[in-house]
Structure 1
């Protein structure tokens, strides 16, 4: 099976900031390039952190409301320091949470989830910036055509990986939802088939109606 990697999905032409990039220049970078965040790199092009719209908005949130209708936010010390910052290295969220180009979609998605980030700078073995991958990039695997998913399950999962005759197991795919049918020799093989099918890029769900000949 071929799993799309971060390298295949990432954006290569990355808008980046330097540690001394001033606040207004950061706002301009986001606006002119229609992005919501930029990695901040050092002199060797290694990501130090990421500056996002949320980081920059702390500047406005920390200012007094002229109307007096909203109270001043109760910021932690580190949040107040960022709100008072004027350069990228003072405003960024650090350290940068990075991915490797050879990672799978699953690896990148799990890191985003555990670290609660929306994007990952992608770095090489020397930690130099290669690209950036976002949640939207990872979701592109679910745009695969149903017939391409079915072909991979039939050819790669059933025939080449498990050595099964594809005629024994029927595969239907609709909007990424896989339905399996047919009959296999052993009952214990059914969860293996279903698990491998879930690992195919673009699969949303797997429902099994496979029967068995031997309960072994």
Structure 2
């Protein structure tokens, strides 16, 4: 199976700022580019952090509220230091959590989940910025057409495994949900097929009503032979 790679999903024209970019220029960059965050690059074009709307809003939340309608939020020391920041290097979340262009959606999604981030700068082997991939970019694989999913499962999974007993299996796909029907020679193959189908880009769920193929055992063969001579 060929999973879509991050290089196919990422945005290549990336708005970015430098370490010394002032607060107001960052806010202007976010507004002009219609994005909620930008990578912060060093002098070699390598992402060293991310500065987001949330980082900028921390400064607004730390300002005095003369109306007294809302309480001043409690900020940890590191949060207060950021709230007082004036440049990207002082405001950014660092270090930057990055992906590589050959990664799959699964790899990028797992990293986002573990690191609790919404986007990943994509870098080359020298750590220079190539693009950026967001959660919404990764979700695009679930817009894949049912027919394309069905064709891949039929060709790459059922077709490839037919020689080990999956020749009687068919796949139906509706709204990304896969249903496997038919029979297999080896019942141990059933969870393998399900797991492989789950890994196909765009698949939401997999159900099966696969049954082992009934084969004649030695006793059945002897009995059949005896009946044939009566």
Structure-1 residue corresponding to 2:136: 136
Asked if structure 2 preserves the Cα contact closer than 8 Å seen for 1:158 and 1:165, the reply is: no
The equivalences for 1:109-124 within 5 A come to: 109-124=109-124
What is the RMSD of the two structures over their aligned residues, measured on CA atoms? 1.4
Q: Does 1:188 find its partner at 2:188?
A: yes
CA deviation map 1:2-23 (0-9, x unaligned): 1000111000000000000000
CA distance in 1, matches of 2:163, 2:15: 47
1:65 aligns with 2:46: no
**Separation in 2 of the partners of 1:162 and 1:200?**
18
1:165-204 → structure 2 map (5 Å cutoff): 168-204=168-204
Question: Is the CA contact (8 Å cut-off) linking 2:12 and 2:131 kept in structure 1?
Answer: yes
C-alpha distance 28-163 of structure 1, shift in aligned 2 (>3 A) = farther
- CA-to-aligned-CA distance 1:110-150 (integer Å, 9 cap, x gap): 00001000000000111000000000000000011000000
- Length-normalised TM-score, structure 2: 0.91
Contact kept in structure 1, 2:96 and 2:121, CA below 8 Å: yes
Separation (CA, whole Å) in 1 of partners of 2:44 and 2:162: 47
Question: Alignment partner of 1:186: what SS?
Answer: coil
SS state at 1:171 partner: strand
Judge conservation of contact 2:167–2:184 (CA < 8 Å) in 1.
no
Rg larger for: 2
CA distance in 1, matches of 2:98, 2:189: 37
TM-score under structure 1 length normalisation? 0.96
- Change in CA separation of 1:15 and 1:162 when aligned onto 2, cut-off 3 Å: farther
Q: CA deviation at 1:164?
A: 6.0
Q: State the alpha-carbon separation in 2 of the partners of residues 123 and 95 from structure 1.
A: 14
Is 1:13 the counterpart of 2:28? The answer is no
Q: Deviations over 1:31-63 (max 9, x none)?
A: 111000000000000001000110110010001
Q: Structure 1 stretches (4+) deviating beyond 4 angstroms?
A: 164-167
Equivalent residue number for residue 80 of structure 1: 80
Distance 1:127 1:162, change over 3 A: farther
Residue-pair matches, total = 215
Structure 2 alignment gaps of length 5 or more:
216-230
